[in-house]
Structure 1
Amino acid sequence: MEPGGRRRQQQQQRRLQELRREATQYYQDHRVPQRMEEALNALFPQRPADLYGELANYFSKFSKAPVICKLVGRKVLDGVGQPTLEVEIYCTVKNYEKRICSTVMSSHSQIPENALPETTEADEKERNDSVNTAVEWVNESLNMMLRGLKPTDQCKVDKILGEYFTKKVEEKKEVQKQEEEEEEEATLALTSCTPSATSLPGKKKSAKPGKKVAVAERPIPPAEPAESVLRGSVAIGGTSLAVAKAGAAVSRIPLYLHIALLKCDQDSLKEMTLPLPMVTLLNCEKISPAKLRLVKEVMLIPPVQLSLKQGIERVLDIQKEMMRLLQPPGEAPSSQVADSKKGRAHNTGKKAPLKGKYEILTGTFKSPDEMVDVYVELINKFPFIIALIDPLRKEDRQQWSNICCALGSKCYLIAEDAATYISKLKTDQNINVPMCSGVVLKYINETKVSDLIEVTGLLDGQRHITILGSPDGESSDDSLVDLAVGLGARFIKLGGLSRGERVTKYNRLLAIEEELAKNRTLREANLEFIAFAEESQPEKQLSDVLPPPKQDSLPPQLSQPALQVHSLPAQHADLGHPN
């Protein structure tokens, strides 16, 4: 190497050594390593194994709270292959867009099973159009309206959803009003161009001699029309529930605890009670080998003394034995006994009721007053029946009052059809609900989480029991179980112990029981019947339906699985047209 090159290399090495000495002196003068160590020791005195992980967790506490950044709606299939809505929630978490959760809504149908093909086809088209509209609402309007809101602010979200739904209802009313006006104008124009027909004078028709005139029986109130459902309304319920799940996820708590805190206004919860499952044992319809006409299904309620896991195991044993007894000799065991046909309303009457009779067996008819005596005799003969769901039509309100006064202290009298629409129970203060011990609530259509919280709080205050039930078209989403636990429902009605979408919910219930027991926050369930006042109560709003309660303890013989009978009041029949 030339002398000049060697000198340059030596100069570079000396300069590098000088820079190292300067850097070392700087850190020593400013005591950076020592100060850093002192700070870390103060923050983490336990000296964690993953120091960088602990640092990330510590500084994440000072980051901005997650906010909703995107909603995604799509059409999916429910448990019976019907279209329904899925809603996904995306939030901005630490400056990153992150998918938090999704929920699939269960569908609900009011179309009878024996409906005409054209009626069924129209219903399926309406369902499909409704889901498409819901997907459009979620991806467009609701996506823009909820962007930037905290998923933990359920009340604010539900208020926005409610206002949007009200706006859509008003728009529909305006469209209907305009269509009616146009139709009326067209009718008037047609009438003015057509000469009016005058009836020719003649004798009035009289009954033929010798023909017997049927004696008119006391008429019954006509069936109330089915509630109209706004197309796309499932977007409201789906979005509200998805936001609740997202709020629980970002708060790092289970959904049932999140719901309970919302209901208790963030008060601390020391203990929680699990809802008792109403497990379908027999479904008394066409697919069942034990076809009965008095009831729709028979359900078992596990004893309160057993854990939920023990109760489910006992019900499974009874179900297997029942299947064996009902199976015809020589045939393989069938799994259809505890199953039920979903997706259609259970209305098997082929003709509208003309004389107000219930067909309890083929060719055997009873009036509404006689049905009260039938149920009284049934409960007296079989005291293990502790609940009747819809024993009468909701229109037979006087008979509801009579049966409550007669059996209220012996079993629960539950209204399901009268309480399908939660939002109506909340908003309509003049709604006529039959006198009853409690109601079955279903999370469908425009129902919001806040609606459930408000209605169940009202029911709790009036000593009604709350039952959360699965809609007709179930999905594999198990949020219903968390809702029932968080709301403090007395029972949960999931159907039989079969089919994946049901078993998923039962498994979720078992998991919650295990978690509460581990945390020592599980409180034992308690069943109380109510003795109704003897005098009939006038029809009032929901909050006034129940008279002042008198508690009766559970009969001691109900330490075994109790029976519940779900009646089928839709089987009113005309005496002249027996099935």
Structure 2
Amino acid sequence: MEPGGRRERRWRQLQGPRQEAAEYYRDHRVPQRMEEALNALFPLRPADLYGELANYFSKFSKAPVICKLVGRKVLDGVGQPTLEVEIYCTVKNYEKRICSTVMSFHSQIPENALPETNEADEKERNDSVNTAVEWVSDSLNTMLRDLKPTDQCKVDEMLGEYFTKQAEFKKEIEKQEEAAAEVTLALTSCTPSATALPGGKKAAKPGRKVSAAERMIPPAEPVESVLCGSLAIGATSLAIAKAGATVSRIPLYLHIALLKHGQDLPKEMTLPLPMVTLLNCEKIPPAKLKLMKEVMLIPPVQLSLKQGIERVLDIQKEMTRLLESPGKVQSSPRLADSKKGKAHNTGKKAPVKGKYEILTGMFKSPDEMVDMYVELINKFPFIIALIDPLRKEDRQQWNNICCALGSKCYLIAEDAATCISKLKSDQKINIPMCSGVVLKYINQTKVSDLIELTGLVDGQRHITILGSPDGESSDDSLVDLAVGLGARFIKLGGLSRGERVTKYNRLLAIEEELAKNRTLREANLEFIAFDEESQPEKQLSEVLPPPTQDSLPPQLSQRPENSTLT
């Protein structure tokens, strides 16, 4: 027993080091040799190698394509129903939600509508949003499936064709209804009108007779009808642009800039200057200030956007202190905290008896309006912009005011640019003579439309302003659109309410990003001197001289704040 026990103990003594050596070789030598071999071939760690291999093979996978569109009824910033569009794409054989966007509902209200009808009809709004949801989730979902979200032009072309078909279908239905109404009227109206006067004479209209030499305001143009469900077109186009930026892994403003410049990214980009609403002069009966709708501040160009916003906030706080001081009666204007979308037409220049009503009971002819604005700018040279100083139909007076004040301030047309589909006509901007236009992304407007229009505006030496629509949402895509399109200004409203502040914060974030990448170019202000002998029907590119370096009044660089009136 003893010899056998010794042999067993000896075997165990020899087996231990042998087993330890085998385990050490297995645990260390082989992986070490493999790592040495991999490092010799690829100077990367195994984890990095696997990532590089994954990225390499992913290049051979199919590009992301649209697989599903979802329309949803949501609420905007004032609690009204509007449309949200979600985009889903097939990415590496998996369905993935890419982005969403919210489109603000916009409807034009007749100028002479009664106060109680100024708000959009609730039933009409609900019908339009419901129709838009149906278009997105049904027709557009089927039509755009399997397209690349980066192919914006093709998508917008298909969206435009779909909208045209829907508009033609609506016209056919309206013609049939009109024909049926005429037949019914012919059968029921067999007696002459009881209101007709003997001898066929028409009743005289009351009012003072106006001399032929006195120029009156032209009649208002008819309101452009809005196709029910049209906001589905604009919302889908913008959602596709956001999806294209997401799959390309670039910010939306860079994606828009690439689309505008034919995939050639500008070396530097300029931020649009914000037009910050300080005072809102609407809805202050009975002594309403009808000349002005709102007073806005534009930060000086020599300040950064962050510094400019801080300065505007300081002014806003001071205005609040002055308006709320004890013992003082609050003046008619109020801080810009009212809800947009409510009675948004009350700020128009009201025509009464062919004249402008600048104050309750105070009227001025079109010629007197031009003289009044000239006196205003001469007295307050730091007003650098007037938005809609005249009605859009009064084209002759637009020509006169541009010749008188074009070299001293910007004269901006906003109401005339509301219907984007009517702006372009034979490579011209079909608006009164002006310094620039306010473009709003509403209804059937597509991203390609804005790119084409801003290119045309730039070519005719106008300036572009991107404006927030009446019904706001927290979607901040408007800011990226303004930066990518190279807009000179952006009009977002006051520094209050979450849906507006979100957009200002996005503008600040873009400024920080561009400054970090050293691609931020300083903004500038150059006014344009119009030729006094030019006619409004001519293209601005034919009548405007090149801008001069001294076109900006020297006082502007010395004042802490610029301002504008609308």
Instruction: Tell me, in whole angstroms, the C-alpha distance in 2 between the residues paired with 1:308 and 1:507.
Output: 11
Shift of 1:362: 3.0
> In structure 2, the residue corresponding to 1:392 is in which secondary structure?
coil
Q: Which is worse superposed, 422-431 or 312-321?
A: 422-431
2:77 is matched with 79
1:496 is matched with 494
1:433 is matched with 431
Shift of 1:548: 4.2
Per-residue CA deviations over 1:433-453 (Å, capped at 9, x if unaligned) read 110000000000000000000
1:61 is matched with 59
Instruction: Tell me, in whole angstroms, the C-alpha distance in 1 between the residues paired with 2:348 and 2:446.
Output: 35
* Corresponding residue to 1:142 among 140, 143, 147: 140
Confirm whether residue 123 of structure 1 aligns to residue 125 of structure 2.
no
Confirm whether residue 474 of structure 1 aligns to residue 472 of structure 2.
yes
1:278 is matched with 275
* Corresponding residue to 1:95 among 93, 96, 104: 93
Shift of 1:538: 3.8
Matches of residues 40-439 of structure 1 in structure 2 within 5 Å? 42=41, 44-47=42-45, 49-111=47-109, 116=114, 119=117, 123-191=121-189, 214-216=209-211, 218-286=215-283, 292-329=289-326, 337-348=335-346, 353-426=351-424, 432-439=430-437
Shift of 1:267: 1.0
Instruction: Tell me, in whole angstroms, the C-alpha distance in 1 between the residues paired with 2:166 and 2:563.
Output: 40
Instruction: Tell me, in whole angstroms, the C-alpha distance in 2 between the residues paired with 1:195 and 1:119.
Output: 33
Per-residue CA deviations over 1:157-202 (Å, capped at 9, x if unaligned) read 00000000011111111111111122222223334x5589898967
The RMSD of aligned alpha carbons is 3.4
Instruction: Tell me, in whole angstroms, the C-alpha distance in 1 between the residues paired with 2:495 and 2:40.
Output: 55
Contact 2:287 2:360 in 1 (8 A): no
Per-residue CA deviations over 1:312-357 (Å, capped at 9, x if unaligned) read 0011111111121122416999996122331135333999844222
TM-score, with normalisation over the residues of structure 2?
0.86
Contact 2:230 2:444 in 1 (8 A): yes
Runs of 5+ unmatched residues, structure 2? 1-29
Contact 2:273 2:488 in 1 (8 A): yes
Q: Which amino acid aligns with 2:389?
A: P
Q: Which amino acid aligns with 2:295?
A: V
1:10 is matched with none
2:520 is matched with 522
Contact 2:119 2:342 in 1 (8 A): no
Contact 2:436 2:465 in 1 (8 A): yes
* Corresponding residue to 2:448 among 450, 467, 474: 450
Shift of 1:40: 7.4
Contact 2:269 2:520 in 1 (8 A): yes
Instruction: Tell me, in whole angstroms, the C-alpha distance in 1 between the residues paired with 2:418 and 2:119.
Output: 24
CA 283–202 in structure 1, closer or farther in 2 if over 3 Å, else same:
closer
Contact 1:433 1:545 in 2 (8 A): no
> In structure 2, the residue corresponding to 1:104 is in which secondary structure?
strand
Instruction: Tell me, in whole angstroms, the C-alpha distance in 1 between the residues paired with 2:256 and 2:355.
Output: 44
Instruction: Tell me, in whole angstroms, the C-alpha distance in 2 between the residues paired with 1:455 and 1:235.
Output: 20
Per-residue CA deviations over 1:4-37 (Å, capped at 9, x if unaligned) read xxxxxxxxxxxxxxxxxxxxxxxxxxx9998998
Per-residue CA deviations over 1:209-256 (Å, capped at 9, x if unaligned) read xx9964455432111111111000000000000000000000000000
CA 421–516 in structure 1, closer or farther in 2 if over 3 Å, else same:
same
Contact 2:66 2:148 in 1 (8 A): yes
Q: Which amino acid aligns with 1:105?
A: M
Contact 1:289 1:326 in 2 (8 A): no
1:486 is matched with 484
Shift of 1:122: 6.7
Contact 2:257 2:265 in 1 (8 A): no
Instruction: Tell me, in whole angstroms, the C-alpha distance in 1 between the residues paired with 2:197 and 2:383.
Output: 64
CA 82–427 in structure 1, closer or farther in 2 if over 3 Å, else same:
farther
Per-residue CA deviations over 1:399-437 (Å, capped at 9, x if unaligned) read 110000000000000000000122222367687411000
> In structure 2, the residue corresponding to 1:346 is in which secondary structure?
coil
Instruction: Tell me, in whole angstroms, the C-alpha distance in 2 between the residues paired with 1:278 and 1:453.
Output: 22
> In structure 2, the residue corresponding to 1:348 is in which secondary structure?
coil
Contact 1:113 1:347 in 2 (8 A): yes
> In structure 2, the residue corresponding to 1:63 is in which secondary structure?
coil
Q: Which amino acid aligns with 1:63?
A: S
> In structure 2, the residue corresponding to 1:528 is in which secondary structure?
coil
Number of aligned positions between the proteins: 533
Instruction: Tell me, in whole angstroms, the C-alpha distance in 2 between the residues paired with 1:310 and 1:503.
Output: 16
CA 181–545 in structure 1, closer or farther in 2 if over 3 Å, else same:
farther
> In structure 1, the residue corresponding to 2:424 is in which secondary structure?
helix
Shift of 1:263: 0.3
CA 458–201 in structure 1, closer or farther in 2 if over 3 Å, else same:
closer
1:17 is matched with none
Contact 1:476 1:501 in 2 (8 A): yes
CA 354–296 in structure 1, closer or farther in 2 if over 3 Å, else same:
closer
Contact 1:301 1:561 in 2 (8 A): no
2:565 is matched with 566
> In structure 2, the residue corresponding to 1:84 is in which secondary structure?
strand
Instruction: Tell me, in whole angstroms, the C-alpha distance in 2 between the residues paired with 1:351 and 1:375.
Output: 14
> In structure 1, the residue corresponding to 2:89 is in which secondary structure?
strand
Runs of 5+ unmatched residues, structure 1? 1-30, 568-579
CA 202–467 in structure 1, closer or farther in 2 if over 3 Å, else same:
closer
Contact 1:154 1:450 in 2 (8 A): yes
Instruction: Tell me, in whole angstroms, the C-alpha distance in 1 between the residues paired with 2:90 and 2:348.
Output: 55
Instruction: Tell me, in whole angstroms, the C-alpha distance in 2 between the residues paired with 1:266 and 1:392.
Output: 39
Instruction: Tell me, in whole angstroms, the C-alpha distance in 2 between the residues paired with 1:137 and 1:332.
Output: 52
